[in-house]
């Protein structure tokens, strides 16, 4: 089945970006989540959430699945819902880019566009209102659903531990729903409490790092667990976007803005070390952002 292809994505070492900056005993590895069938890390959480709903008998013949998304989770939901025969309605900020809207419509998703000035928080509020109005909706609520972080506890963390042969010393991840960071951190710390878990968010409320949340100025996801954070880093937009371009031109890796922020933070952490294995995740591929002139001037 299609869902059986989710996970076990490649982990590759950066060869050129850290050259001249990192000591000989330091390695930076990136997990390429664009290799998932839906093209992003959100395939993991979307399938975990939908599988839990199916197993609980919550999806009937008249059920309309409902959630909010800035794009990637919605696309993952759309792919899986189509494959499983479910109906899906998604609240999406109106300023989501062209590629994402076209992908959602290709999967047959009923898209409800929300106020672009309210961003992902506005989409959350719209989804909650729809859920309250119509009992046919099953509100999946990726920001509060424990199946979100469990997806990474069960897959992403164990994959990183396996693919580094237990040598990972630092785990770096951006914060959106926070599920990737929370679940992976719990899994890695269970294997080795000494693994340092570094949380990354934008350095300002108004930023250009799509997919990431500035938690001090946003609705904080219910699944967020700050006790897992060994270090917090604030990623600047322009240096992160420059790393997106450098990843493509120097490493041959096409990533999105949140991936640029993750690599910015991973290199910051790695530059301080005498030795270590620093791992991060590139949540999606850059194909979904090629229409964005500010990213590809």
pTM: 0.96
Q: Write out the catalytic residue numbers.
A: 42, 258
pLDDT of residue 15: 96
- 19 and 159 in a single domain? The answer is yes
Domain tally for the chain? Answer: 2
pLDDT band at residue 272, thresholds of 50, 70 and 90?
very high
pLDDT band at residue 184, thresholds of 50, 70 and 90?
very high
pLDDT of residue 232: 98
CATH, residue 112? 3.40.50.1100
- 111 and 186 in a single domain? The answer is no
- 77 and 210 in a single domain? The answer is no
- pLDDT of 277 higher than 90: yes
- 278 and 170 in a single domain? The answer is yes
The token pair at 279 is 């791992």
The answer to whether the CB of 288 falls within 8 A of the CB of 104 is: no
Q: Is residue 294 part of a domain?
A: no
Domain boundary among 77, 106, 139: 139
pLDDT of residue 198: 98
- pLDDT of 34 higher than 90: yes
Q: For the segment 218-237, what is each residue's pLDDT rounded down to a tens digit? A: 999 999 999 999 999 999 99
- 236 and 159 in a single domain? The answer is yes
Q: Which domain holds residue 234?
A: 2-36+149-289
- pLDDT of 96 higher than 90: no
pLDDT of residue 119: 87
- 15 and 94 in a single domain? The answer is no
The closest of 71, 86, 72 to 39, measured between CA atoms, is 72
Question: What is the percentage of the chain residues whose pLDDT exceeds 90?
Answer: 90
- pLDDT of 37 higher than 90: yes
Residue range 176-204: mean pLDDT, rounded: 98
Domain boundary among 139, 168, 197: 139
């Amino acid at each position: 089945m299609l869902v059986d292809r989710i996970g076990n994505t490649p982990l590759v070492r950066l060869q050129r970006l850290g050259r001249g900056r990192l000591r000989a005993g330091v390695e930076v590895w990136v997990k390429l989540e664009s290799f998932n069938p839906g093209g992003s890390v959100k395939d993991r959480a979307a399938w975990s959430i939908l599988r839990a709903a199916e197993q609980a008998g919550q999806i009937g013949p008249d059920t309309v699945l409902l959630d909010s998304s800035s794009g990637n989770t919605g696309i993952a939901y759309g792919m899986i819902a189509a494959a499983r025969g479910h109906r899906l309605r998604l609240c999406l900020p109106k300023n989501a880019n062209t590629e994402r809207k076209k992908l959602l419509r290709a999967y047959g998703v009923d898209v409800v566009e929300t106020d672009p000035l309210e961003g992902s928080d506005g989409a959350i509020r719209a989804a909650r209102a729809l859920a309250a109005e119509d009992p046919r909706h099953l509100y999946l609520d990726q920001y509060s659903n424990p199946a979100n972080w469990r997806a990474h506890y069960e897959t992403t963390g164990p994959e990183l531990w396996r693919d580094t042969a237990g040598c990972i010393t630092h785990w770096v991840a951006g914060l959106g729903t926070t599920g990737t960071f929370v679940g992976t951190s719990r899994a890695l710390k269970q294997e080795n409490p000494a693994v340092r878990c570094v949380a990354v968010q934008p350095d300002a409320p108004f930023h250009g790092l799509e997919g990431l949340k500035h938690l001090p100025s946003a609705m904080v996801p219910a699944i967020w667990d700050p006790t897992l954070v060994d270090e917090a880093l604030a990623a600047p937009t322009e240096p992160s976007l420059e790393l997106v371009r450098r990843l493509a031109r120097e490493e041959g890796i096409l990533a999105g803005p949140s991936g640029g922020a993750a690599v910015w933070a991973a290199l910051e952490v790695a530059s301080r070390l005498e030795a270590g294995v620093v791992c991060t995740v590139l949540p999606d591929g850059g194909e979904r952002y090629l229409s964005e002139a500010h990213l590809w001037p």
